[in-house]
């Protein structure tokens, strides 16, 4: 949704955090792999163009970004945690850790979670309509 507006360092940092979340429960689903590939497409990058960034460095990159960008990161990462219809404990802990590191308030986290869940429900309904 928002990734095309990120600068190169933010894109690499985002991909690093997203990959960490996808791998956190040691079970990378097909949906997670597909979404990681969609992220690359949206960012207009090939995997070879992604600079490997350590988790702490990735978080630090976003600490220098605007509050808007940090919220966009949270929304995208939270959507990733739900893409396989399984919100694993490890994913929940990691997304909460990232939100805290990025100084996203509990209130904002809840609002953004609700929006993501609403959006995913709309996508599901649209897919059902198309399949009829």
Kindly report the CATH number that applies to the domain delimited by 3-131: 1.10.3680.10
Could you read off the pLDDT tens digit of each residue along the chain, which spans 132 residues? 789 999 999 999 999 999 999 998 888 889 889 999 999 999 999 888 888 899 999 999 999 999 999 999 999 999 998 887 777 788 889 999 999 999 999 999 899 889 888 888 888 888 888 987
Domain residue ranges of the chain, discontinuous segments joined by +: 3-131
How far does CA 79 lie from the centroid of its chain?
A: 6
* Whole-number pLDDT of residue 28: 86
* Neighbouring C-beta atoms of residue 72, cutoff 10 Å: 21
Q: Furthest-apart CA pair in the chain: how many Å? A: 47
* Whole-number pLDDT of residue 120: 82
* Whole-number pLDDT of residue 97: 94
Which residue in 36, 45, 35 sits closest to 16, CA to CA?
Answer: 36
* Whole-number pLDDT of residue 119: 86
Which residue in 99, 27, 78, 19 sits closest to 54, CA to CA?
Answer: 19
């Amino acid at each position: 949704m928002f990734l095309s507006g990120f600068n190169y360092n933010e894109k690499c940092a985002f991909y690093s955090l997203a990959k960490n979340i996808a791998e956190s429960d040691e079970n990378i689903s097909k949906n997670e792999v597909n979404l990681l590939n969609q992220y690359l497409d949206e960012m207009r990058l090939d995997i070879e163009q992604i600079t490997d960034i350590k988790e702490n460095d990735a978080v630090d990159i976003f600490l220098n970004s605007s509050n808007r960008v940090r919220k966009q990161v949270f929304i995208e990462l939270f959507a990733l945690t739900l893409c396989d219809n399984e919100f694993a404990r490890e994913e929940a802990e990691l997304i909460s850790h990232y939100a805290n590191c990025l100084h996203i308030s509990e209130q904002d986290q809840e609002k953004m979670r609700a929006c993501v869940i609403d959006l995913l429900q709309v996508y599901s309904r649209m897919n059902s309509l198309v399949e009829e």
